[in-house]
Amino acid sequence: MKRIILILAAVFATLSLAAQIPPVPEAKIVAVYCRHCGLINLEKGETHRSDCPYVNGGDESSSGSSSYGSGRLSYGERHEAAWEARKAAKEARKAEREARKAARNAEKYARAKKVKLKDYQPMAGKTVVAPKGATDNTQVIAKYDRQGVPTYGLKDKSGKWVKKPQYQAITIVGPAAAAYKKKGKAGLLDPNTGEPLLAGDYDQYQAFYYPDNARNTMVALGRHGADGNTEWHLMKADENGDYVDALVCSSAEFFEDGTGRKIAYRRADTQKVGLADEKGGEILPPVFDGLKYLDYSVDGASYYQARMVQADGKSALGVIDDSGRMVIPCTYDKVDAKTWGKYGIKVEKDGKEGVYDINGNQLFPASFEKMELDHFWDGIRHRAYFRGFVTQPDGTRRSALFDTRGNQLTDFGEESAVDYFQIKDRAAELEEYRIY
């Protein structure tokens, strides 16, 4: 009897608890996916676009089957589209945050900053050896004041001051000569005695230096003219090591290419450009109208683009190496010595392209509409070849394949029909392709 009473009590308790649980509402569709309109959020009041083909044709879910290619997307496709939409929105929000952060940083660094002494640490107040050259007896010393601004002087190897720090800049250019700048004026002095060699009536200087030991290298002293241009005097050491005025130039550029230090200069009288080594030895005579280092070196040689004005007033370009050898004559409208590395230099004349090798041999005359370097994998290594394009009199464009020595490998055929499969069986004859 007690067991029956307990069972009835449990049943009544369960019914009472069930009465307190609210009924589960029916499933509500909050969004649909239209293949034409994308995801439509019904809770936000979104509807089909006016140009949707399903607006007048009824719900897209009622048209066609659920297979791919019908008017209805599968669940996987709808899920993928919704995922991409959320991903795009997330990336947009991230981009907006990054933009706001960048704007705040720009505003932060644009504000004037009060410079404190600690910002110059650890150099403020120190005296150190400066990497501006040395002789057997002296070296350049930099002394930094409390604001971190250096002045330069000279000390001998015993630690005694030859010239106390008083120069804005100083560079030792020879065993018995140093270029200096003091109170806005430049000149030459003897680094061993501190005595002036050339009055400081110039405005600036350019020079090479060696931290370990001085060499008699060129130095250029510049003076500003009334027209605003700078007149450069190239100074060269004679047999006694004394610096003499070698040449007056309208411009001088001291730089280092892949084989050493060079000076490109433009003569003031002829306005022609030449190239000299660091000691003033002539590499290229001043006969060019323009000379530009191509920042390009292969097999121990550096290359320069040379420009010469022709009789008709037009400029023609060529290529010269650092030994002074004319690799490509100055007859072309364009030269490209960097794109293909050791495989050649592309030239262009009157809209036609050709190729020279780096030794100056003409591989292809400038008769092709386009020249390309390509390569393929033969199973062991990459092989290089050229592709040349021409247009026939009937207007059809054709191409042929060549090896890197200029030998033709295939006949000219339709552009889309000629490919490396036609020469793959000759791969062993082709040069290995490497990136330089």
Q: Where are the domains of the chain?
A: 28-89, 123-239, 369-436
Question: In the numeric block, which tokens belong to residue 244?
Answer: 């003499």
In 2-39, which positions are buried (b, 16+ CB within 10 angstroms) versus exposed (e)?
Answer: eeeeeeeeeeeeeeeeeeeeeeeeeeeeeebbbbebee
CA separation for the pair 16, 8 (Å, rounded)? 12
What per-residue confidence (pLDDT) applies to 48? 78
Q: Examine residue 191 and say whether the peptide bond preceding it is cis (omega within 30 degrees of 0).
A: no
CA separation for the pair 154, 159 (Å, rounded)? 9
What per-residue confidence (pLDDT) applies to 390? 93
Closest CA to 262 of 231, 220, 213: 220
Specify the pTM. Answer: 0.63
Closest CA to 296 of 361, 330, 340: 340
CA separation for the pair 62, 76 (Å, rounded)? 18
CA separation for the pair 211, 118 (Å, rounded)? 29
The amino acid sitting at 218 is M
CB neighbours (10 Å) of residue 235?
Answer: 25
CB 32 within 8 A of CB 57: no
Tokens 């330069």 belong to 152
Question: In the numeric block, which tokens belong to residue 249?
Answer: 């130039």
Closest CA to 330 of 319, 344, 345: 319
CA separation for the pair 119, 324 (Å, rounded)? 49
Tokens 């390309």 belong to 372
CA separation for the pair 176, 195 (Å, rounded)? 10
Taking only the tens of pLDDT, the chain with its 436 residues reads 656 665 666 555 555 544 454 554 455 666 777 767 777 777 777 887 777 776 655 444 433 333 333 344 454 555 566 677 778 888 888 888 888 888 877 766 555 555 444 444 567 788 889 889 899 999 999 999 888 889 999 999 888 999 999 999 999 999 999 999 999 999 999 999 999 998 888 999 999 988 888 899 999 999 998 888 899 999 999 988 889 888 999 999 999 987 889 999 999 999 999 999 999 999 999 999 999 888 766 667 888 999 999 888 899 999 998 888 899 999 999 998 878 878 889 999 999 999 999 888 999 999 999 999 999 888 888 999 999 999 888 888 999 999 999 999 999 988 777 887 888 888 888 888 876 5
CB 299 within 8 A of CB 312: no
Tokens 């007690």 belong to 2
Tokens 């430049």 belong to 186
